[in-house]
């Protein structure tokens, strides 16, 4: 299996930066529009871009020659990951939602054995447990400040880690463009089906902002907000291709630590666009998660 660490690191860092812009846009529109509509519009815009990339890299016939079963499963897992991730945005400060999502490398380490057969020693598991200690610092269970939506970020991290390990496994025979196309197609189908089901069920009321973002009915999009959501499609196409390429061309244990470059962007966008200032527990917990994740991934290579 080919291994190009420099390429993988570059792709991942750029992908994280690109996706951080989408995070800010999704949080902005989450106050007035439904998640299914946002994802549907985003996927409609991203679809043709990704199809052109597939045509340029391999030719569109590669879509049907690929490992359809594994690609379908991976796309379904990614749909779950991003649905959970986006649902956390209306209820959490952007820095909190993203910092909890930084547990991805910890989940990558934990899942590497069952998915790729890469077994970890007790030191690695100790680092993983330390990381989840940082999660507890951020969540503050029992303090009265606990927000259930934080668990959505953790669920998203676990599902995303599994999907990226599958990308590494699929990378031997499937291009990043084909994987990204399948993922986007499932986002489009999943958002459309979910919207139809919710419409069929009739008006659904939700008081929690995360659930409200999910069940809210579709509305006509003003030009400015519509263009912002459409921009997410361009961002999604670029970001998905970059992140998938990173795990496809380099070992997961090498590129995963660079997921943490997102910690440079989330607080900045949160402050710039939403006047959010990270809490002390957010900073402390995120620091523990980062240190633990880097230790786990470093020891996993030895």
Query: pLDDT for 106-145, tens place per residue?
Result: 788 777 766 666 666 667 777 777 777 877 777 766 554 5
Q: Tokens 């547990």 sit at which residue?
A: 103
Q: Which residues contact 239 (CB under 8 A, 6 or more apart)?
A: 15, 18, 19, 22
Element (H, E) at 116: helix 104-116
Distance of CA 278 to the CA centre of its chain: 21
pTM over 0.85: no
With a cut of 70, say whether residue 302 has pLDDT above it.
no
The percentage of residues in the chain with a pLDDT greater than 90, rounded to a whole number, is 28
Distance, CA of 118 to CA of 202 (rounded, Å) = 48
Beta-strand (E) ranges in the chain?
none
Half-sphere exposure (Cβ direction) of 272: Cα atoms closer than 13 Å: 10
pLDDT at 263 over 80: no
pLDDT band at 264 (very low <50, low <70, confident <90, very high): confident
Contact 113/60 with Cβ under 8 angstroms? Answer: no
Q: Is 117 left (phi over 0), alpha (psi -120 to 50) or beta?
A: left
How many folded domains does the chain comprise? 1
Mean pLDDT score, 44-70: 82
Angle of helix 94-101 relative to helix 266-274, nearest 10 degrees? Answer: 160
Give the Cα separation of 17 and 28 in Å (integer): 17
240 and 184 Cβ atoms separated by less than 8 Å:
yes
Is residue 206 pLDDT above 80, yes or no? no
Domain that holds residue 193: 5-300
pLDDT score recorded for residue 118: 63
pLDDT of residue 116: 64
Taking the C-alpha atoms of residue 85 and residue 153, their distance in angstroms, rounded to an integer, is 5
Q: Region 180-207: what's the mean pLDDT?
A: 87
Q: Read off the pLDDT of residues 58-102 as tens digits, 9 standing for 90 and up.
A: 777 777 766 778 888 899 999 999 999 999 999 988 888 888 887
């Amino acid at each position: 299996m080919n291994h190009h660490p420099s390429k993988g690191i570059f792709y991942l860092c750029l992908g994280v930066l690109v996706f951080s812009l989408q995070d800010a846009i999704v949080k902005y529109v989450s106050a007035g529009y439904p998640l299914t509509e946002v994802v549907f519009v985003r996927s409609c815009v991203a679809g043709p871009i990704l199809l052109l990339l597939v045509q340029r890299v391999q030719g569109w016939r590669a879509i049907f020659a690929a490992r359809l079963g594994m690609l379908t499963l991976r796309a379904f897992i990614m749909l779950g990951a991003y649905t959970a991730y986006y649902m956390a945005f209306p209820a959490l400060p952007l820095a909190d939602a993203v910092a909890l999502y930084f547990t991805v490398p910890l989940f990558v380490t934990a899942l590497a054995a069952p998915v790729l057969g890469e077994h970890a020693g007790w030191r690695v598991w100790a680092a993983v447990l330390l990381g989840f200690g940082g999660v507890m610092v951020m969540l503050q269970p029992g303090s009265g400040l606990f927000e259930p939506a934080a668990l959505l970020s953790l669920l998203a991290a676990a599902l995303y880690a599994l999907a990226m390990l599958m990308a590494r496994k699929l990378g031997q025979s499937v291009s990043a463009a084909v994987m990204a196309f399948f993922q986007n197609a499932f986002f489009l189908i999943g958002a459309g089906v979910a919207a139809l089901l919710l419409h069929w069920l009739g008006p659904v009321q939700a008081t929690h902002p995360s659930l409200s973002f999910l069940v809210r009915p579709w509305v006509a999009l003003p030009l400015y907000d519509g263009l912002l959501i459409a921009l997410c499609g361009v961002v999604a196409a670029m970001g998905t291709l970059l992140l998938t390429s990173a795990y496809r061309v380099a070992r997961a244990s090498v590129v995963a630590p660079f997921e943490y470059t997102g910690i440079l962007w989330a607080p900045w966008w949160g402050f710039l666009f939403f006047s959010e200032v990270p809490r002390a527990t957010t900073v402390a917990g995120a620091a523990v998660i980062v240190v633990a994740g880097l230790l786990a991934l470093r020891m996993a290579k030895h």
